[in-house]
Amino acid sequence: MVKQLVVNTPGQGLHEITREVESLVREAKLSEGLCTIFVRHTSASLVIQENADPLAKRDLERWIARLVPEGDPFYTHDTEGPDDMPAHVKSALTATSLSIPIVGRSLALGAWQGIYLWEHRRRGGRRELVLHIGT
Amino acid sequence: MVKQLVVNTPGQGLHEITREVESLVREAKLSEGLCTIFVRHTSASLVIQENADPLAKRDLERWIARLVPEGDPFYTHDTEGPDDMPAHVKSALTATSLSIPIVGRSLALGAWQGIYLWEHRRRGGRRELVLHIGT
Amino acid sequence: MVKQLVVNTPGQGLHEITREVESLVREAKLSEGLCTIFVRHTSASLVIQENADPLAKRDLERWIARLVPEGDPFYTHDTEGPDDMPAHVKSALTATSLSIPIVGRSLALGAWQGIYLWEHRRRGGRRELVLHIGT
């Protein structure tokens, strides 16, 4: 089964989508299976991270912003703004697709794992994800 | 269904394979499904990136070459040449497998997404990919 | 089919799990299929790397330790120790899930590829992986 999931991001950062994905998985009513999430953009990506302390999320965002700074004169692809090429690099370093097993109609996530859409553009926007849920 | 895809890379860089993967997916004639691409090497990897402005591709290649420079005296694994250990690091930071949903016999890629085999060795070579296409 | 795999890691580093995964794949007796490995933690991850020269493995560990140093005063999430936030960053930069095609009841790995659980915490521990094996 293939489902679309649209997420409107208000701006850069980790936006949790665990509940939305879980909800689509429950609808599929599979006792066992695999859920694959795919993001249809090159300036947003996926990451599974700790969902307990919000500082962990913030440190991760700050860390990658330091590794791939905006406005670096190094870039030649700059017609779409100073945050565009860094967004492509950050996407390449993280995940465009993620697969999570399904057990008992639910995602087999660990106790502290949350699924995040990582928005890399300052302005955010409408982001399309496609989910495949199979046996 | 499992299919092999062989790509001969002329040297370092992003080599687009979208058309070759799409062609194998069309042959499978699945109205819905999942296509997984796997690269059988530790010095080449996979990335989904913007296929519009070639400068984006070039900046991404230059950026990772700056992050993981060749000839760094830091490396002790150097018997296969100065580009070999950096190739392993670059592969670890990007993807060895990628999964893309299939909708209407076609990959559910975004408008600006292309699939690339990222060759990390200077001399390039014969690269084997394995595709799994399932429901 | 979904299977659990528990790995006890003695400490930081790449711990090969190829044999354990192959063994579960063989039990499934599938002539063709796909094996997906998922790690249920945010301070350990997955990587496919060269299994020939142990120096390659060591250089990779040293390289990421240099990129994401422990005890960096930059971090604000530090209640779980100086190796915790770097562990989250390293996990985000590598893989939480990996999918490998199955051909002839065996993983379609390249000649030099090994599957590794990458432990990022100093003390290591009991790590849970979930495998999905399907057609």
Check residue C30 and give its pLDDT: 96
Question: Which residues of chain B make contact with A67, given a CB cutoff of 8 A?
Answer: 67
Whether the pLDDT of residue A25 is over 90: the answer is yes
CB C101 within 8 A of CB C134: no
Whether the pLDDT of residue B78 is over 90: the answer is no
Q: In terms of CA atoms, which chain C residue is nearest residue A116?
A: C92
Asked if C65 has any chain B CB less than 8 Å from its own CB, the reply is: no
Whether the pLDDT of residue A67 is over 90: the answer is yes
Check residue C71 and give its pLDDT: 87
Whether the pLDDT of residue A78 is over 90: the answer is no
Check residue B22 and give its pLDDT: 98
Asked if A47 has any chain B CB less than 8 Å from its own CB, the reply is: no
Instruction: Tell me the ipTM for this assembly.
Output: 0.96
Mean pLDDT of chain A, nearest integer: 96
Check residue A127 and give its pLDDT: 98
Of the residues A32, A63, A105, the best mutation for testing chain C's interface (the one with the most C CB atoms within 10 Å of its CB) is: A63
Question: Which residues of chain B make contact with A79, given a CB cutoff of 8 A?
Answer: 53
Angle at A1 between CA C24 and CA A15, to 5 degrees: 90
pLDDT in tens, C16-27: 999 999 999 999
* Sequence-distant (≥ 6) Cβ neighbours of residue C27 within 8 angstroms: none
Whether the pLDDT of residue C79 is over 90: the answer is no
Q: Which domains does chain B have, with CATH numbers?
A: 2-134 (2.60.120.460)
Whether the pLDDT of residue A71 is over 90: the answer is no
B49 closest CB neighbour out of A76, A88, A130: A88
Query: To the nearest whole angstrom, how far is the Cα of B23 from the nearest Cα of chain C?
Result: 19
Cβ separation A53–C130 shorter than 8 A: no
- Global model pTM greater than 0.95: yes
Mean pLDDT of chain B, nearest integer: 96
Q: In terms of CA atoms, which chain C residue is nearest residue B98?
A: C99
Query: To the nearest whole angstrom, how far is the Cα of C89 from the nearest Cα of chain B?
Result: 12
Q: A31-40, A79-88, A94-103, A105-114: which range is least confident on average?
A: A79-88
Whether the pLDDT of residue C78 is over 90: the answer is no
Cβ separation B97–C93 shorter than 8 A: no
CB neighbourhood size of C12 (10 A): 20
CB neighbourhood size of C77 (10 A): 18
CA dist C50 → B44, B45, C116 (Å): 12, 13, 10
pLDDT in tens, B47-67: 999 998 899 999 999 999 999
Cβ separation C108–B134 shorter than 8 A: no
Pairing mode, strands A44-50 and A113-119: antiparallel
Whether the pLDDT of residue A23 is over 90: the answer is yes
pLDDT in tens, B4-42: 999 999 999 999 999 999 999 999 999 999 999 999 999
Interface of C with A in 4-33 (CB under 8 A): none
Give me A11's structure tokens. Answer: 């701006």
Cβ separation C132–A99 shorter than 8 A: yes
Whether the pLDDT of residue A29 is over 90: the answer is yes
Cβ separation C102–B2 shorter than 8 A: yes
* Cα radius of gyration (chain C): 16
